[in-house]
Structure 1
């Protein structure tokens, strides 16, 4: 049943949206699904409100959800990663899928560097040791990044920012990106195998696809330079987590900084929780004060563009 105002509905799979984004959506009734809505929650809300648009913040949108929303015109991601949307199902139903591309690029790049530096300088471990009364000045050596090699898998809006910061740190920057039409100054495009073998730090900045799922596995991790650092602020499905746990325990990797996981929220207990050279954060790389506003505005703009296009075509 439609809401009392009879405005078309936009369903947000979260409990909130930036006020600046809500200001753009005044021609709609905006319905919030709550903090961590289940698939059943979203299906029920779609059946009740018949939204013309879904803004995806948390959870996935599959064919069952689309079929419950008979008026659905667009699924708009609050961010850049649309792997949580069944794109084939959307295409089959004539539903547009859009992403707020670049809206959180600065936030994710900064978080990637927070993890790189935390790994290279053992920041959480030294902090914990200090709180336990230890003074490890005579025994600890951190990794100096100046002159080392940074390897980036993906050279989009985020990867390019990470590259620029790496260059500012005095690092040699390599990248693998089959879609890159040009490269920033100082960045050398190489094959994946070259990147793995040469890099002291490998940072992932590519979307998750059927082709690259678990691209980092026992075989590929064995090709890394021994003692390298791996950082993932992209998608957890890019990594075989059991293989990564082995590589960390066996010293093939010095550290891993992980902001995304194969199953989210990360299962508890999880092997990574017992690995001291893994630094973990709960997929918050893109969640900053500015990115929250930018992603909301980008998602809202994509809703407006598709709905207005539908209206023009129907006129």
Structure 2
């Protein structure tokens, strides 16, 4: 059995650039769809000093199966799949590769916004079916419209720049954001719902904001609002959004995140008009894959180095 310390990756692979940074460790892969029992068994077998989280959840049971565990490092920016309270209680640090996939996710948000405003998917289907709807179709012009952003971190601010470049008015809510650029007007949530022609979610999921986009919130929005979510599915009450789209209160929803992932058929959104869906691939690009892997590896090494220095 190897005497080298182990790092567990809750996925099937890691970018070569990240592996190069971790060459002094045994890297163990849990596969593409690891369950909690899978992770517990691997932790018992290898006693990793670090876990790099790609897929699945890491809770107290997994942590307790790895007595040497010092750091849980997210391959990306969202840490809601990690039980942070359990980690803190056990002296295990939780780190995220903040900003590593910002460009990729912001571009996906823009793609979904444009697809909704310009009826890209619907018109493509009509054209392939032999129709020419020029005389009857009018798309939405985003120039001069107001986009409301919930969350103004690395992704939200990058997306805000894109919207500003298109001539949109940008308003945003984020109680933690500092030093915002001049083109973002900070507002409270009530103002954001009321004034926005389109809303895009870019915040982490917390117990406080779960289902923040619910029936009362959607009713407070402008009729015909566009909703984009590339953050976390749990931010949205999916039944309320379905009803709002069916009624026309929401003109179109562009979604890359869902309450339960992977989405399994049948799902109420499937086959519904005015839903543009993608399988949580906003941060899945070749560049982001490298950036997130390297960021996660560097976070692991930083924590382990600090622990060694303190010992």
TM-score (norm 2): 0.99
Q: Extract unaligned runs of 5+ from structure 2.
A: none
CA contact (8 A) 1:248 1:275 kept: no
Structure 2 equivalent of residue 57 of structure 1: 54
Query: Of 102, 109, 130, which aligns to 2:127?
Result: 130
1:176 equivalent among 173, 177, 182 = 173
Report the equivalent of 1:97.
94
Residue equivalent to 1:157: 154
Instruction: Give secondary structure in 1 for the equivalent of 2:199.
Output: strand
Residue 241 (structure 1) shift: 0.4
Corresponding residue to 1:299 among 282, 296, 299: 296
2:5 alignment counterpart: 8
1:214: Cα distance to partner? 0.5
Write out aligned runs for 1:74-113 (5 A): 74-113=71-110
SS in structure 2 at match of 1:279: strand
1:22 aligns with 2:19: yes
Residue 84 of structure 1 aligns to a residue whose secondary structure is coil
CA deviation profile, 1:72-115 (whole Å, cap 9, x unmatched):
11000000001110000000111110000110001000000000
2:184 and 2:158 map into 1 onto residues whose CA distance is 12
Q: Any idea what SS the aligned residue of 2:141 has?
A: coil
Aligned length: 311
Q: Which residue of structure 2 aligns with residue 142 of structure 1?
A: 139
The CA deviation at 1:142 is 0.5
1:290 partner SS? helix
Alpha-carbon offset, residue 294 of structure 1: 0.5
Unaligned runs of 5+ in 1: none
* Partner in structure 1 of residue 42 of structure 2: 45
Aligned CA RMSD, in angstroms, stands at: 0.8
Show the counterpart of 2:206.
209
SS of equivalent residue, structure 1 residue 21: helix
- The ranges of structure 1 where at least 4 consecutive aligned residues each deviate by more than 3 angstroms after the TM superposition are none
Q: Distance in 2 between matches of 1:96 and 1:178?
A: 24
Q: For the residues of structure 1 that align with 2:161 and 2:308, how far apart are their CA atoms?
A: 42
